[in-house]
Structures are given as C-alpha cells and as structure tokens.
Structure 1
C-alpha cells in the first residue's frame, strides 16, 4: 500500500424540512469538489437510501470501490458508506441495538432504542489488509448538554464502547476511525473516544457542526472526529465549509463540515 493516504469524513445531511438544498442537489456539488481533491477514501454518514448511495457513487468515478451493508429495507445500514480508490474486502456492520437507554422518560427511552437499532459502525479493510477504516454515527443529542448528568450520557457511553470493540475485532498496521459521534469534544466521554487514537483536530478544536442550524444563541461544537492509529498525520483540515451557489439558490453543502486528513511519512 502507498505510504501516504488522504481521507475525508462527511455527514451528507439528508436535509428533510431543512434550510439546506435537497440532498441530491448538494451531492452533485460535493462530489465534484471531492473528486477535484483527489482523496483516497471517503467516509459518508446519513446516506439513508440505496438510491442516494447510487446517485453519489455515479458522481465519484475515481472511487469505484464502495463498502456498505444492507439494512432491513435494503438501505445502507446506519446510513454509512465508504468509497475508495483502492480495492476493499467485505465490510462488517455492528449495530448499536445492544445498547440499553436507561435515563430519561419513557418517550425518550423508546426513541433512543429505535435510534440504536438504526445506527452502528461500519468497518472495512483494504484488500491488501494494510488499512482498517471505521465509519460511524451515534445517536443525536439535541439537548446541547454533554455532561455526565445528561440523559444521553449513558447511551453514548455504551455506543462508544461498541465502536471500540468493533474496531478491536480487526487488525491492520494502520487504522482510521471517523464519523459523526454527536459527542462534543468538551464532553467527559471525549477521552474514552480517543483512547488509543491520535486526534489530529484536537489542537485547533474547531466546531464541526454549523451554528446556523442550531437554535439562536446555542454555540456550535466539535462533534465529528477523524482519528488515526499507526501513522503520522501530515495535515488535518475542515473542508466544504463555505456556502455555494446551486440551481435553487445559495446553500451550505451540509449542516456539518467535512474533515480531511493526509497521513504518511
């Protein structure tokens, strides 16, 4: 395998009832930009339909290898997909269904249980076995509170534990774990997330979720991560940040920014 690699993680945001343009309209533009960047691997979250997966894949001609697992309705399980320039082995998908929400009222626990069944972690190795990629999305926390006393804390801790075990089930000289963790870097769970990993975005700690999509006055946080083990990181940047002109007006490409790392000797 090449000694350098370029990886992007991006929550594409399906955008139902949102201020953003429709998902396919935005996909045309972010696929064009990602193709121009010449990245090696692309970790996508919120690809909730098989038709959207095909639509995106048709616009990433340089990334003809794709890993995903079908859910109950044939959709990408967890809304997760990995696109690659390099051949991939068969992926594995681990659901969060074993997590048990114990806090909050009955309605919250029921909603959390549904979320756990819908979400999980996708793991895949390159065909040569040299690189392990993990892609995940955890349950959203709309409270804006990531303290230990918050009702999401227990479910998030269990989900992070599932992610860690799923990644440890595979071995490779180099590992990359990315996704929308929905846990702020200020949370007491942050050390549990990054234990054993290098977080190349820790120094700048810039928000990855857009304040424009939050209630007025609520600060944005860094809730997306792209972590590395086994190789030094040459650079780490947030991309797809600016609003763009689309056919139906100006729009952000997502409610999240994309994370990009370039690793190698």
Structure 2
C-alpha cells in the first residue's frame, strides 16, 4: 500500500508536465469563454434595450434557454450534435486543431453570456434615472451614451455578480472533460491512472482550483475598491 506522497507526482517530470499542460488548457478555455461571454453579454444587453419587442423577446428566449438547460447538456449538443453537422473537411480541420477545447469555449461562452447580460442589466437598472436623457441632450448617440455613460456605471454596479459568475465559469471549465478536452481534470485522471495516487492527484487539482478562484475574487475585490474610489471623486 502506498503512503501519502504528493512529491511523487510533483517531482516526476512526466506527471508534472501533464498537470501543467492541463492547467494551460484550462486557462485557455476559461479566458476564451470569458471573452466570448462578456462580448456577447454586452451585445445582448444593447439589443435588449433597443426599441422593438422582437429583439427583446429574442434575447429573453436566449437567456431563458441558457439559464435553464444544464451547461453539460449544452456542451454535448455543441460537440456531439452541431460538430457532426459541419462539412467533413471542416470537421477534420477542427479535429486537428483542438476541436474539444474550441467547442468547450463556444459552449461555455454562449451559456455564460446569458448570465453576464442579466448581471449588466441589473447593474444598469441601478444607474440614476435621467442620465441617458442628459447624455443624449449633450449630443451623444445611443451607442455613445451606452459606451461612455451607462455601461461604465452598469459594470461598476454589477461587479460583484460578474465576479461570482466569472468564478463559476472558471470552475465550469471542468465540464470540458465530458467532451474530451485535455484540461486540468482530464490531466489529473491521466496522472491518477499512471501513478495510482488518487488522493494526491485530486488534492493538487483542488489546491490549483482554489488558488485560482481566490485570485479571481481578490481581483474582483480590488476592482470594486477602485470603482468606489473613482465614484467618490
């Protein structure tokens, strides 16, 4: 029976290299899906605020779908469903260029965009009434009013919720394991299979995920303090 020994993994170049590679894939998935989610979340918010009920209802349907269908199911649909509908040549190209990570970014990003858009909408509701009219009176267009006046305040108001959902997005990157992405959890399982040190392998993963989540929350707290300092001026 093996005794507890984390160094047996960390000091093994092959096993440690597998964990490092998995961590980098996790970061790529998390950062890529966050950029997609935030960009699309802002776009959904702008569309929802435009005149016309059709656009607003379309955004509501989008948000409702991604809020009520489990993220894992959405990833499965993208990878095992939509991927299979693509032309064969494109499928082969994607298969040679990290298709699993690509569809993980798409699936997680589109899902998280629904939450980000709702966070920003709540933040926008907290903006003092009359600022949009004042900005338009000063000559700003609709886009200019959103960009320079309303959205910065909406971001500040929604920051706690955005940080929480960012942490959730980072943790949900583990779901990419289900479609074969070689992220950290996938690497941990490979390390476990080769070293037979289950507890040590998952303990390392736990520490890494905890450290990254705390760093994200720390950055969020710092940004919150900065926003308060700017608002107090």
Structure ranking higher in helix proportion:
2
User: Is the strand fraction higher in 1 or 2?
Assistant: 1
Q: Is TM > 0.5 for Structure 1 vs Structure 2?
A: no
TM-score (norm 1): 0.24
TM-score (norm 2): 0.27
Which structure has the larger Rg over C-alpha atoms?
2
